[in-house]
Amino acid sequence: MRLTRYFLPVLKETPAEAQIVSHRLMLRAGMIRQSSAGIYSWLPLGYKVLRRIEQIVHEEQERMGAVPLLMPTIQPADLWRESGRYDAYGPEMLRIRDRHERDMLYGPTNEEQITEIVRASVGSYRDLPKLLYHIQWKFRDEVRPRFGVMRGREFLMKDAYSFDVDRETALQSYRKFLVAYLRTFERMGLKAVPMRAESGPIGGDYAHEFLVLAETGESGVFVEKRMADLSLGDRAVNFDDPAEVQAIFDDWTSGYARTDDTHDQAVFEAEVAAGERVEARGIEVGHIFYFGTKYSEPMQALVTGPDGERAPIHSGSYGIGVSRLAGALIEASHDDKGIIWPESVTPFQAGLVNLKQGDAATDAACEDIYGKLAAAGLETLYDDRSERAGAKFATMELIGLPWRITVGPRGLKQGVVELTSRRSGESVELAPEDAIARLAEIYRGL
């Protein structure tokens, strides 16, 4: 993409209303623009990041065997009256009356809707398990929306739902989601630790939150050090093998890892050696619940079991804050110049800076490199503006592309361009084709 054709409205000033770094940087980098309190437009750069995050979530959900569908944003109130949550939910639910005076709502979550879908067609334990998910916009009418996309009102969430014949198989599904989440967050370059959680308004008795450790996190976290250091790495997981999934689940839930909702200082001190206790702040990016028959019972979502008896389905729900992750990623990875995107979610794989726009040889070299990067499957943001080098570098650093190729007349005379890492700040001089090959190698398999 040529910057002169793109729409990248970066801000020179730091917006006064933004209290945390991710909100400031998303506004400054032209990623988002506020529409009204807690509601944002995702400008082109932000939208690309959102799509990359979404894509990783899709891939990891499908890898574990969950099936995508898409439920609407507007739900009928009657569905929520069946579960009893229409009255219980409170003012965070955006309630709507349509032109025929029917009560509707903008879905804050989808347990009722998915239970209605499943009960309409699933009749026997043989039809189970079913693991279904969607990525859809939600609305929660927060009384004080803040922190940009981290606590917005309209937000994008991945919510999955499991349907099993009994508690034991439901917990197998639960464990699959926990394990799938490990790779999901790792692929984004995040260290997200599963922590024992209260079940909250969804209800249930088996719940974990995934928290990214970051100074600006809204939750206090208390973690045994080795839990924060675990990594799934490239380990292949056979999700069809309950024992293998259980073993990984056990590893990741064996140590102390709690938020301040569930923290117990006495247990922390008894179970964890003093030097191993980490007290920090965390950002919630995922939340999984087993809630059993909480919805299937009132909504009469029943299956005939192997014994011929009709009984309510056992379920769980599994959320990932897709839009929130864009903010969490920045909280976890930035410096005083701007954002530092991990390669897996960067909006463009490379930035290309032309130091002398209008100089025929430099323009031609840039065009050539730009074309070759595209041919190598790398999306590049080419700064083809007639701006000073300093302004171009500042923009690239602000928007956080992990790799930059700088092309100028002086280097070209020696047959080289500069390849710069956003993270380390280090540059190397390379022949253009070597710089392209290096980038292709870095992004291979991502």
Per-residue tokens: 345: 């979610």
Shortest distance, position 240 Cβ to a second copy, whole Å: 10
Q: How far is the CB of 433 from a second copy (least distance, A)?
A: 27
Which residues have CB under 8 Å from 355's CB, separation 6+? 362, 389, 392, 406, 407, 408, 409
Query: Do 311 and 346 meet the contact criterion of CB atoms below 8 Å apart?
Result: no
3-state secondary structure of 309: coil
C-alpha span between 254 and 250 (Å, rounded): 6
Choice between 12 and 444, CB closer to a second copy: 12
Helix (H, G, I), strand (E, B) or coil at 223: strand
- For the CB of residue 211, give the shortest distance to a second copy in the complex, in Å: 27
Look up residue 26 and give its two tokens.
Answer: 């998303």
Nearer to a second copy, 115 or 354 (CB): 115
Query: Which residue lies nearer to a second copy by CB, 76 or 84?
Result: 76
Q: Which lies closer to a second copy via its Cβ, residue 75 or residue 362?
A: 75
Q: Name the token pair of 161.
A: 């739902």
Q: How far is the CB of 89 from a second copy (least distance, A)?
A: 12
CA dist., res. 386 & res. 131, Å (int): 52
**45 vs 407 by CB, closer to a second copy:** 45
Q: Is the peptide bond before 129 cis (omega within 30 degrees of 0)?
A: yes
Residues near 82 by beta carbon (within 8 Å), at least 6 away in sequence: 112, 298, 299
Q: Which is nearer to a second copy, 275 or 358 (CB)?
A: 358
Residue 11 to residue 398: CA distance in whole angstroms: 10
**Is the CB of 134 or the CB of 208 nearer to a second copy?**
134
Specify the residue, 69 or 361, whose C-beta has the smaller distance to a second copy: 69
Q: How far apart are CA 306 and CA 67, in angstroms?
A: 25
In whole angstroms, the minimum distance from the beta carbon of 121 to a second copy comes to 3
Q: To the nearest whole angstrom, how small is the minimum distance from the Cβ of residue 33 to a second copy?
A: 6
At closest approach, how far in Å is the CB of 193 from a second copy? 30
Among 234, 229, 184, 246, residue whose Cα is nearest residue 210: 184
Residue 314 burial by CB count (10 A; 0-12/13-18/19+): exposed, middle or buried?
buried
DSSP H helical segments within 260-340, as ranges?
265-271, 322-332
Shortest reach from residue 69's CB to a second copy, in Å: 5
Sign of CA dihedral 281, 154, 60, 56: negative
Closest approach of a second copy to the CB of residue 142, in Å: 9
Binding site for a second copy (CB under 8 A): 1, 5-7, 9, 30, 33, 35-36, 39-44, 46-48, 50, 65, 67-76, 79, 91-92, 94, 96, 98-99, 102, 104, 106, 113, 117, 120-122, 130, 132, 134, 137, 139, 141, 143, 153-154
User: Considering beta carbons, is residue 33 or 334 the nearer one to a second copy?
Assistant: 33
Cα–Cα distance for residue pair 13/352, rounded to 1 Å: 24
- The total number of residues written for the chain in this structure: 446
